[in-house]
Amino acid sequence: MNKQDALEKLSSIKDQLSFWGQKIQNENVMSRIDELKKKSESENLWDNPDNAKNIMQNLSKLEEMYNSYTVCFKEFTDIEGMIENEYDVLQDMINEELLILEKKTEAWYIDTLFSAESDSFDCYMEFHAGAGGTESQDWASMLFRMYTMYLNKNNYKFSIIDQLFGDEAGIKSAVIKISGSSGSFPYGWLKGESGVHRLVRISPFDSNSRRHTSFASVYVTPVVSNEIKIDIDPKDLRIDTYRSSGAGGQHVNTTDSAVRITHIPTNITVQCQNDRSQHKNKDQAMSMLVSKLYALEQEQQRQRAQEGLAQKQENAWGSQIRSYVLEPYQMIKDNRTGYSETQVLKVLDGDIRHFLVAYLKFSNMQNKSKL
């Protein structure tokens, strides 16, 4: 890169460092470190092992945040000075150091964007085919494959909670439960994927090889921990049981083990049929219902219910968050952030991180503009 490119990259790093430093200040990180250090030096610390472990983990996390920031900030000032005074002589070394610093600050900057209580929660991801029959059902299954490939590549675990196959191909709907290790932020990373996804391609189901537009929706909700109480009046629930569907053969369920629960006041419906036990399916469906009610409550508190579960967008033209165009050209573009990719097959194989990062940054800027 030339000197102008280096200065622009440095400016971007400066913005990220500024946000990082502001977070340290706003969260009183130094005061919390001092407080936790005093607790860690207490003679009675390990009388309560669980509390002691929590104290030490929090102390380590805060110290890592502060120490990493100070190291990166020093590297930033050193590189800034070299660009201004010695770029022509040390160009290769400066560019290399700049790229290394960019990766460090980018990783920490993204980590600071996960500030909501629910960001660290596991989550449910739902897929629903839009209008259009087989075309949309096939598109829903392509999205299912894209996200599950992303999950596998990034060491998340997932299990299929419910799945309804299409009559000819694809899926009509599906629900998966996603979990991750500490610090992996399953819901934080994926919450921006909720919405309608639009596909334009030459249909493999059209004998005349015409171009078709298909729609499918994705909805992501956090798995609520037992510590968070969501009051549900049993009188507000309608519980139906039915025989679960399957691909056939020996795995077809012969009892009414599948469960569908409708929350009458909100008209939210959840269902589960992945287990042969009706009791287990009911417990899983109740967990999903709590998750949706929690997400709905959070959206209402943020006065953004129109973007969440309270007012789901129509699964059709004009409401899409992202367009996947395979014909007559190849491009995937997010309609909110403006970020686009031309390597569509790579994205459909689960390489969606750039879209997730772009949305996290976009959402952060939107939240800051409302303050």
Residue 62 has pLDDT above 80, yes or no: yes
Q: Which long-range contacts (CB under 8 A, 24 or more apart) does 359-364 make?
A: 359/192, 359/334, 360/110, 360/113, 360/188, 360/189, 360/192, 361/113, 361/337, 362/336, 362/337, 363/113, 363/192, 364/19, 364/113
Distance CA 202, CA 329 (A): 11
Q: What is the number of H-type helices and E-type strands within the chain?
A: 8, 11
* The pairing of beta strand 237-242 with beta strand 258-263: antiparallel
Q: 128: which 2 tokens? A: 């629903």
3-state secondary structure of 87: helix
Largest CA distance in the chain: 79
> Could you please report the per-residue DSSP string of 250-286?
GGS--S--EEEEEETTTTEEEEE-SSS-HHHHHHHHH
Task: Judge if pTM exceeds 0.95.
Answer: no
Confidence of residue 97 (pLDDT cuts 50, 70, 90): very high
Distance CA 96, CA 81 (A): 15
Residue 136 has pLDDT above 60, yes or no: yes
- Choice among 19-23, 69-73, 161-165 with the minimum mean pLDDT: 19-23
Residue 116: what pLDDT? 80
Taking all residues of the chain, what is their mean pLDDT, rounded to a whole number? 86
Residue 305 has pLDDT above 50, yes or no: no
Radius of gyration of the chain (CA): 24
Confidence of residue 182 (pLDDT cuts 50, 70, 90): confident
Cβ pair 155, 212 in contact under 8 A: no
Residue 371: what pLDDT? 46
Residue 26: what pLDDT? 86
Residue 301 has pLDDT above 90, yes or no: no
Distance CA 113, CA 173 (A): 31
Residue 318: what pLDDT? 52
Residue 111 has pLDDT above 70, yes or no: yes
Residue 88: what pLDDT? 85
Residue 131: what pLDDT? 81
Residue 87: what pLDDT? 84
319 contact partners, CB below 8 Å, separation of at least 6:
195, 196, 313
Residue 234: what pLDDT? 87
For tokens 């798995």, the residue is 223
Is the pLDDT higher at 329 or at 107?
329
Q: Side chain identity at 257, as an amino acid letter?
A: S
Q: 24: which 2 tokens? A: 């340290």
Residue 309: what pLDDT? 47
Residue 147: what pLDDT? 98
Residue 353: what pLDDT? 95
Residue 303 has pLDDT above 60, yes or no: no
Residue 18 has pLDDT above 60, yes or no: yes
pLDDT in tens, 264-273: 988 999 888 8
Q: 142: which 2 tokens? A: 């392509």
What is the pLDDT averaged over residues 56-61?
Answer: 88
Domains recognised in the chain with CATH numbers: 3-112 (1.20.58.410), 119-369 (3.30.70.1660)
Residue 228: what pLDDT? 67
Residue 249: what pLDDT? 40
Residue 231: what pLDDT? 80
pLDDT in tens, 223-260: 987 666 778 888 988 998 887 765 444 444 556 788 99
Cα 265 to Cα 229, 283, 293, distances in angstroms: 18, 20, 11
